[in-house]
Amino acid sequence: MHATDSTPADLLRSTLAADPSRPLVTYYDDATGERVELSVATFANWVAKTANLLQDELSVEPGDRLALLLPAHWQTAVWLLAGSSVGVVVEPQGDPAAADLVVSGPDSLQEARRCGGERIALSLRPLGARFPQPPEGFVDYAVEVPGQGDRFSPYVPVEGRSPSLVIGGRTLSGAQVVEQARGDAAALGLTAGSRVLSVREYDDWTGISRGLLAPLAAGASVVLNRNADRLDADALAARRESERITHTA
């Protein structure tokens, strides 16, 4: 990573320039049997498309507040980095009524209706599939995002001192997010090539850092595992071996 990286989006750009083909995010859901692996290039493409959706289709501006009502999922990781790319202030599990826009999974649609701004819904179905029936009052992410551009350039440059993430009641700038992610990576002993297995949710700093930002800052990769409690000890050990896990969160 570059010493000049001052936002999470900068970390992704540096990672993409260094090694676009290596795995970055692998996702398991042991309730559905789903496994998805995204290289750095594929993940960055999703981030660019999502950022273009925010900026061009939804007219979101830097400083707008986004309530992110999603579980730990590969698409949640995409939204965290897309928000950073645009300069949106992302609040995982934030109050939709206090947000300028909300991004919701299928289990939080009723809560998300409290947002008076744009509402985006994700089915969280395998392979990023759309809803069988789009939720009324919501933009279906899977319908809108494929047609967006594969490259993103913000209309207004995003500065590291600008607010980026609200977590645990604290508002962190992009630079603070990067600094804390780097500190966590060092404390965990992550290096380029490390592979982190995370069974944590994205509802606090520890979950987001260990499940995305610290590996990104270290040039490592992450395996997100939802519903891992359905695995017995032997199955979880086999997964650690097959995925070449070096660290567990």
Q: Tokens 């995010």 belong to which residue?
A: 25
| pLDDT above 70 for 93 | yes
| pLDDT above 90 for 141 | yes
Residues of the chain above pLDDT 70, percent: 99
| pLDDT above 70 for 205 | yes
Q: Answer with the residue of higher pLDDT: 64 or 3.
A: 64
Q: What is the Cα–Cα distance from 47 to 43, expressed in whole angstroms?
A: 6
Residues 33-63 have pLDDT tens digits of 999 999 999 999 999 999 999 999 999 999 9
Residues 189-202 have pLDDT tens digits of 999 999 999 999 99
Classify residue 140 by burial, with Cβ atoms within 10 Å: 0-12, 13-18, 19+: middle
| pLDDT above 60 for 1 | no
| pLDDT above 70 for 186 | yes
Q: What is the Cα–Cα distance from 127 to 28, expressed in whole angstroms?
A: 12
pLDDT at residue number 249: 86
Token code pair at residue 73:
């999922």
- Residue 4 confidence class, pLDDT cut points 50, 70, 90: confident
Domain ranges in the chain are 8-248
CA dist list (Å): 215 to 24, 41, 245:
9, 16, 12
| pLDDT above 80 for 3 | no
pLDDT at residue number 127: 84
Mean pLDDT of the chain: 96
Q: What's the mean pLDDT in 63-81?
A: 98
Residues 121-130 have pLDDT tens digits of 999 998 889 9
Q: With respect to CATH, is domain 8-248 assigned 1.10.1660.10?
A: no
Classify residue 46 by burial, with Cβ atoms within 10 Å: 0-12, 13-18, 19+: buried
